[in-house]
Amino acid sequence: MATKLEYIWLDGYKPTQSLRSKTKIEKDFSGKLEDCPLWSFDGSSTEQAPGGSSDCVLKPVFICPDPQRKDAYLVMCEVLDSKGQPHESNGRAHIMDDDNDFWFGFEQEYFLWDPKTDKPLGFPAGGYPGPQGPYYCSVGANNAYGREIVEEHLDVCLDAGLNVEGINAEVAAGQWEFQIFAKGAKEAGDQIWVARYLLERIGESYGVSINWHCKPLGTLDWNGSGMHANFSNTTLRTANSKETFTAICEAFRPAVAECVEVYGAHNELRLTGKHETASITDFSYGVSDRGASIRIPLYTVDHNWSGYLEDRRPNSAADPYKVAAVIIKTVKSAKV
Which residues of this protein are in contact with ligand ADP, per CB under 6 A?
103-105, 107, 165, 179, 181, 228, 230-232, 237, 307-308, 310
Which residue number, 78 or 190, has a Cβ lying nearer to ligand ADP? 190
Instruction: Give the Cβ contact number of residue 291 at 10 Å.
Output: 16
Give the integer Cα–Cα distance in Å for 172 and 295.
21
Do you know the residue count of the chain?
A: 336
- Contacted by 232, from Mn ion, ligand ADP, none: CB < 5 to 8 Å by type: ligand ADP
Least Å distance between CB 106 and ligand ADP?
7
Nearer to Mn ion (CB atom), residue 92 or residue 228:
228
Query: Considering the complex, what minimum distance in angstroms separates the CB of residue 104 from ligand ADP?
Result: 6
Of 82 and 163, the one with the shorter C-beta distance to ligand ADP is 163
Minimum CB separation of residue 85 from ligand ADP in Å reads: 33
105 touches which of ligand ADP, Mn ion, none (CB within 5 to 8 A by kind)? ligand ADP
To ligand ADP, the closest distance from the beta carbon of 290 in angstroms equals 8
Q: Is 61 left (phi over 0), alpha (psi -120 to 50) or beta?
A: alpha
The residue (of 87 and 228) whose beta carbon lies closer to ligand ADP is 228
Spatial separation of the C-alpha atoms in residues 139 and 154, rounded to whole Å: 17
Which segments of 254-319 does DSSP mark as H helices, in order?
Answer: 256-262, 267-270, 298-302
Which letter does DSSP use for residue 87 in this model? P
**Least separation in angstroms between CB 304 and ligand ADP:** 14
Residue 244 CA to chain centroid, in angstroms?
Answer: 28
Give the interface with Mn ion as residue ranges (CB under 5 A). 107, 177, 228
3-state DSSP assignment of residue 327? helix
- The smaller minimum CB distance to Mn ion, of residues 10 and 154, is found at 154
Can you tell me the distance from the alpha carbon of 40 to that of 170, in angstroms, rounded to the nearest whole number?
39
